[in-house]
Amino acid sequence: MKIAVFGTGMVGDTIGSRLIELGHQVMMGSRNASNEKAGTFVAKHKAGASAGTFAQAAAFGEIIFNCTKGDASIEAIKLAGDGIMGKIIVDVANPLDFSKGQPASLLPALSNTNSLGEEIQKTFPKAKVVKTLNTMWCGLMVNPTMIGGGDHTNFICGNDADAKAKVKSLLKEFGWKDQNILDLGDITNARGAESVLPIWLRVWGATQNGAFNFKVVS
């Protein structure tokens, strides 16, 4: 499948690399087509990797992973222009606010009674936003079997059932088992998924280990 990855940081690199490993073609999208990290990404993969602007990547991909920083996501997707029309945007970003000390809080305008996921959906109504994977370290997003036999929980939400089914199919390629993917419902449930960050950051701080995830035990 042709997939666009917006954002060339650690999360984008990790997801893009795993997608290529799985046989997909990936175009890294960034503000500037000559982005250095995107160049490094293309160079390290023998085949399947390319780089372009957000607009070029959006036009290329059937699915778009949003791995940009949460406070810059809306702006980045705006730069993609019409290329996102009808496309699935897998939003793995978090609206972290680093301006008020550590650990980060959430951006007030994008939390509690709103969320980044639903703000993207509201701003780009012709895209199909699916929020998932944002509640863990990127290494686990694409390799859940790294811990606990893969038995821990990944939340998913979004307004479009078909889009969620397609994303679930990709999640299974990553190693996620059906019973560990918990569908919370429509995109407003991104408020819940993103509210995991304040506790995630503190568990990380207390344990000094980021390779953990939450499991719903019942």
Q: Does 196 bind a second copy (CB under 8 A)?
A: yes
Beta pairing class for 63-66 and 105-106: unpaired
Cα(196)–Cα(189) distance, integer angstroms:
12
2, 33, 62, 151: residue in contact with a second copy (rule CB under 8 A): 151
Residue partners of 11: CB distance under 8 A and separation at least 6: 67, 92, 93, 138, 141
Closest contact distance (angstroms) between CB of 216 and a second copy is 5
What residue type is assigned to position 168 of the chain?
K
Q: Does 179 bind a second copy (CB under 8 A)?
A: no
User: What's the number of CA atoms in the CB half-sphere (13 Å) around residue 190?
Assistant: 29
Two tokens, residue 99: 């301006």
Instruction: Give yes or no for a contact between 42 and 64, defined as CB atoms under 8 angstroms apart.
Output: no
43, 148, 165, 172: residue in contact with a second copy (rule CB under 8 A): 148
Q: Does 159 bind a second copy (CB under 8 A)?
A: no
* Main-chain phi, psi angles of 88, to 5 degrees: -85, 130
Q: Does 205 bind a second copy (CB under 8 A)?
A: yes
CA angle 118, 121, 125 (to 5 degrees): 150
Q: Does 122 bind a second copy (CB under 8 A)?
A: no
Q: Does 108 bind a second copy (CB under 8 A)?
A: yes
Closest contact distance (angstroms) between CB of 70 and a second copy is 14
CB nearer a second copy, residue 77 or residue 138? 138
Closest contact distance (angstroms) between CB of 200 and a second copy is 8
The residue range among 25-33, 38-46, 116-124, 151-159 that interacts with a second copy, by the rule CB under 8 A, is 151-159
Cα(205)–Cα(13) distance, integer angstroms:
24
SS3 category, 124:
coil
Q: Does 199 bind a second copy (CB under 8 A)?
A: yes
Q: Which residues form the interface with a second copy (CB under 8 A)?
A: 100, 103, 105-106, 108, 111-113, 147-148, 151-152, 155, 182-185, 189, 191-193, 195-199, 201-203, 205-207, 209, 211-218
